[in-house]
């Protein structure tokens, strides 16, 4: 059996915006809602679906690249991690125990990782974009936030989130306040960007970044990103293309490379 490489991003486990993707009788307003009438909260349904995806790809996976925002919020204290996600974390540990490489890229929602996911789940953590040769093709992989976006407001916000001093100060606050604030912040930003749209080749930040990068490193065959919550597969030249992976809020999409062909797929689509 030929081994494949899989790519997935923007699951946003724990997000209340998964509510719209389950049966209307199962919708519970808050991500921290308890089981009601024997039904699991919507985020559990998405978590179970992601576990089914892991079960599918483990049959022929050489490696799995999780390109950021797998969690809607993740912050590791020295001895404490967010509650929940036991199904997914256990499934990832099962995959890595079986010898399948699982790579985890930080996104703008799960920036603050330390060593829990690597030590407990066996994942390789990437804090920066990665260039790697896969089956003879050169891949540039990253979540995508901060690439090609030169706006001052975004740079300031990103510098705050990546500041070690801010992280130390944030960790000093009790989780009952930080978790609630993080969920409010995520909800507030998602409400403002409920329907992401493709801006076109000349305005889409990640496309602009990829084209600029190609001008100095023309050997890149595939740029693979998350972050934008759109599905895009675009040829940049005769030997290079860009893929933006979509998400697991609207699309339940992923990328797969078999050594010859790269494609974007929908999991359990009709």
pLDDT (tens digit per residue) in 141-193: 999 998 987 766 666 666 766 677 776 776 777 777 766 666 666 665 655 55
Helices then strands, each counted (H, E), the chain: 7, 11
33 DSSP assignment: P
Extended strands (E) in 33-135 = 61-66, 101-105, 124-126, 130-134
**To 5 degrees, how large is the angle CA 269–CA 226–CA 91?**
65
The domain locations on the chain are 4-266
| pLDDT tens-digit readout, 44-80 | 889 999 999 999 999 999 999 999 999 988 888 777 7
CA distance 240 to 58: 28
Question: Is residue 34 very low, low, confident or very high in pLDDT (cuts 50, 70, 90)?
Answer: very low
Contact 92, 104 (CB under 8 A): no
CA distance 112 to 114: 7
CA distance 108 to 185: 12
Out of 3.40.50.10420, 3.60.21.10, 1.10.10.10, 3.10.580.10, select the CATH number for domain 4-266: 3.60.21.10
**To 5 degrees, how large is the angle CA 97–CA 102–CA 261?**
125
Lowest mean pLDDT among 88-92, 149-153, 205-209, 240-244: 149-153
């Amino acid at each position: 059996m030929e081994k494949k490489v899989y790519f997935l991003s923007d699951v946003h486990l724990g997000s209340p915006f998964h509510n719209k993707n389950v049966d209307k009788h199962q919708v519970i307003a808050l991500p921290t809602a308890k089981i009601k009438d024997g039904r699991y909260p919507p985020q559990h349904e998405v978590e179970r679906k992601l576990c089914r995806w892991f079960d599918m790809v483990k049959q022929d996976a050489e490696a799995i690249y999780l390109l950021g925002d797998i969690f809607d919020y993740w912050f590791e204290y020295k001895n404490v991690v967010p509650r929940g996600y036991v199904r997914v974390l256990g499934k990832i540990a099962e995959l890595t125990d079986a010898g399948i490489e699982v790579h985890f890229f930080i996104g703008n929602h799960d920036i603050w990782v330390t060593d829990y996911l690597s030590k407990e789940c066996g994942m390789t953590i990437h804090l920066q974009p990665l260039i790697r040769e896969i089956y003879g093709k050169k891949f540039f992989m990253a979540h995508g936030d901060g690439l090609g976006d030169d706006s001052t407001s975004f740079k300031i916000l990103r510098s705050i989130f990546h500041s070690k001093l801010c992280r130390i100060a944030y960790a000093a606050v009790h989780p009952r306040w930080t978790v609630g604030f993080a969920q409010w912040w995520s909800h507030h930003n998602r409400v403002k960007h409920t329907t992401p749209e493709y801006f076109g080749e000349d305005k889409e930040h990640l496309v602009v970044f990829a084209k600029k990068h190609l001008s100095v490193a023309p050997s890149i065959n595939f740029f693979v990103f998350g972050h934008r919550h759109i599905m895009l597969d675009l040829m940049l030249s005769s030997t290079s293309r860009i893929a933006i992976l979509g998400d697991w809020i609207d699309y339940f999409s992923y990328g797969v490379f078999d050594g010859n062909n790269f494609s974007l797929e929908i999991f359990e689509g009709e």
